[in-house]
């Protein structure tokens, strides 16, 4: 499959299956500089699907770098009021939202002081978590090929070969090599919903990860339940919040995480790559961080607010997904999180708990996923006050 053919198919999948754009609906798209070709394909697919208007917002990390290098440090947390107002308006008008993923400008922030980079969270907005939890938009995220990302993932290949190989890997994990990719994804979601049902029927109260430098326990809230990326907006539009998706996830109790976790894949944070990351939690709070690279970037990131040092998500991923079988580190959370079980620091998802527990879930301006599962890491579970039982072993469900 050529890069152009991949991009066209990915755009069609994003519009018709991911966000499930409705005729007459506005599509608000976020892209990076370097993803212009993909954005044009998405716009064409959206207008073919009956979009009333396609609004494209490009973010340039090189411009962000200029701000970090030359602006007053005291100004770096400033965000113009119309940024948040724009997102709120998009939600109020029940628009569709799509973000194009992939590291289109890798290395753009290399050498920038971590304490400065951590103060400027753009393009993420503080309003984002509330908009997601309010279900006022049908939205999705999908990866697209760019030359910069291909070079990062396959540094030893000539640029054209690297881009072609990335397109091939992404085509496979997005199921674009299926005769009907949308039908393939709906079938996959049915399987994931059944797994989530079985896990929920087990009435799990705690989950434990053990192995490869990790021994950590996560407590769940009384109404925590595992869900999938298949959602329905307030307007009744079914959508898939990210493609690919191979996870079931829940909202943990933010005060009941205890132990040490070794992150199993690199974490890309604001352009910085964090490797060999190890974190220790006590009473739900990160109390110690170590890493061979990028430690300072994470330390400043989780100092944003009180909730930034606590967990807002626990996701389980088995070995049947396509991302893991590629044996590729994509250096992008959307892809890498579907290769292994993971957790997220920061803001929690309201859909994974009942109304009675909403006041107890974690709140933060950040939501940062990192991978903690994989080969050599077993997942155990137990009902409240019962013995630990295997839940995921060698990527296989034990229930």
pLDDT in tens, 293-330: 889 889 989 998 999 999 999 999 998 889 988 989 99
Residue 138's CB is within 10 A of a number of other CB atoms, namely 28
- The order of strands in the sheet holding 252-262 is 285-290, 278-282, 252-262, 214-220, 206-211, 378-382, 389-393, 396-397
Mean pLDDT computed over 57-73: 96
| Counted domains in the chain | 2
Instruction: Give yes or no for residue 374 having a pLDDT over 90.
Output: no
Does 340 share its domain with 372? yes
Give the confidence band of 346 by pLDDT, cuts at 50, 70, 90: very high
16-34 pLDDT tens trace: 999 999 999 999 999 999 9
Does 282 share its domain with 302? yes
Mean pLDDT computed over 149-171: 96
Does 157 share its domain with 224? no
Instruction: Give yes or no for residue 390 having a pLDDT over 90.
Output: yes
Q: Which residue has the higher pLDDT, 382 or 385?
A: 382
pLDDT of residue 385: 67
Of 179, 206, 240, the one marking the end of a domain is: 179
Distance CA 89, CA 274 (A): 35
Give the confidence band of 1 by pLDDT, cuts at 50, 70, 90: confident
pLDDT of residue 225: 97
Does 196 share its domain with 342? yes
103-121 pLDDT tens trace: 999 989 988 988 888 889 8
Cβ proximity of 260 and 218 under 8 Å: no
Phi, psi of 336 (to 5 degrees): -65, -30
Instruction: Give yes or no for residue 60 having a pLDDT over 90.
Output: yes
Strands 311-317 and 252-262: what pairing?
Answer: unpaired
Mean pLDDT computed over 130-134: 93
Of 156, 179, 202, the one marking the end of a domain is: 179
Mean pLDDT computed over 212-239: 96
pLDDT of residue 115: 83
Does 198 share its domain with 332? yes
Q: Which residues contact 345 (CB under 8 A, 6 or more apart)?
A: 286, 302, 308, 309, 310, 311, 312, 364, 366, 367, 368, 370
Cβ proximity of 376 and 395 under 8 Å: no
Cβ proximity of 278 and 291 under 8 Å: yes
Mean pLDDT computed over 149-170: 95
Cβ proximity of 215 and 372 under 8 Å: no
Of 161, 179, 197, the one marking the end of a domain is: 179
Does 169 share its domain with 187? no
Torsion of CA 372, 378, 382, 388, to 10 degrees: -140
Mean pLDDT computed over 373-386: 86
Q: Which residues contact 46 (CB under 8 A, 6 or more apart)?
A: 15, 21, 27, 54
Residue 340: helix, strand or coil by DSSP? coil
Does 363 share its domain with 272? yes
**Which CATH number characterizes residue 42's domain?**
3.40.1830.10
Instruction: Give yes or no for residue 270 having a pLDDT over 80.
Output: no
Does 282 share its domain with 191? yes
Radius of gyration of the chain from its Cα atoms, rounded to whole angstroms:
20
Distance CA 336, CA 342 (A): 9
Mean pLDDT computed over 122-130: 92
Q: Whole-angstrom distance between the N-terminal and C-terminal Cα of the chain?
A: 39
Taken as a whole, the chain contains a residue count of 399
Does 392 share its domain with 290? yes
Instruction: Give yes or no for residue 381 having a pLDDT over 90.
Output: yes
Domain that holds residue 161: 3-179
Does 212 share its domain with 93? no
Find the range with the poorest average confidence among 209-223, 236-250, 362-376. Answer: 362-376
Which residues are 215's β-sheet partners?
A: 210, 260
Does 10 share its domain with 36? yes
pLDDT of residue 176: 97
Query: Which helix (H) or strand (E) element contains residue 192?
Result: helix 181-201
Return mean pLDDT, the chain: 94
Does 192 share its domain with 166? no
């Amino acid at each position: 499959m050529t890069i152009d053919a991949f991009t066209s198919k990915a755009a069609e999948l994003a519009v018709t299956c991911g966000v499930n754009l409705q005729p007459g609906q506005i599509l608000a798209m976020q892209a990076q500089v370097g993803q212009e070709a993909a954005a044009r394909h998405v716009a064409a697919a959206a207008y073919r699907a009956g979009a009333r208007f396609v609004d494209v917002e490009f973010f340039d990390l090189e411009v962000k770098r200029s701000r970090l290098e030359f602006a007053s440090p005291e100004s770096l947390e400033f965000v113009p009021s119309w940024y948040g107002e724009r997102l709120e308006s998009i939600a109020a008008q029940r628009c569709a939202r799509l973000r194009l993923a992939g590291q289109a400008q890798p290395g753009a922030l290399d050498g920038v002081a971590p304490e400065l980079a951590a103060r400027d969270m753009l393009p993420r907005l503080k309003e984002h978590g509330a908009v997601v939890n309010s279900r006022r938009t049908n939205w999705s995220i999908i990866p697209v090929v760019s030359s910069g990302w291909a070079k990062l993932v396959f540094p030893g290949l000539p640029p054209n070969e690297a881009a072609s190989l990335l397109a091939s890997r992404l085509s496979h994990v997005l199921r674009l090599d299926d005769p009907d990719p949308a039908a393939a994804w709906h079938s996959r979601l049915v399987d994931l919903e059944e797994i989530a049902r079985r896990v929920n029927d087990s009435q799990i109260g705690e989950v434990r990860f053990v192995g490869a430098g990790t021994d950590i326990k996560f407590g769940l809230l009384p109404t925590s339940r595992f869900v999938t990326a298949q959602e329905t907006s307030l307007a009744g539009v079914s959508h898939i919040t990210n493609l690919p998706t191979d996870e079931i996830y829940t909202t943990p109790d933010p005060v009941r995480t205890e132990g040490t976790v070794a992150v199993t894949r690199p974490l890309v944070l604001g352009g910085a790559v964090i490797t060999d990351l190890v974190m220790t939690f006590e009473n739900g709070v990160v109390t110690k961080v170590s890493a061979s690279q990028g430690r300072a970037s994470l330390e400043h990131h989780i100092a944003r607010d009180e909730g930034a040092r606590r967990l807002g998500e626990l996701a389980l991923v088995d070995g049947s997904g396509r991302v893991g079988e590629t044996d590729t580190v994509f250096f992008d959370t959307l892809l890498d999180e579907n290769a292994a079980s993971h957790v997220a620091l920061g803001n929690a998802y309201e859909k994974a708990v009942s109304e009675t527990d909403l006041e107890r879930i974690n709140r933060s301006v950040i939501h940062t996923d990192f991978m903690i599962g994989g080969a050599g890491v077993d997942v155990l579970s137990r009902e409240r006050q019962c013995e630990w039982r295997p839940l995921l072993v060698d990527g296989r469900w034990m229930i």
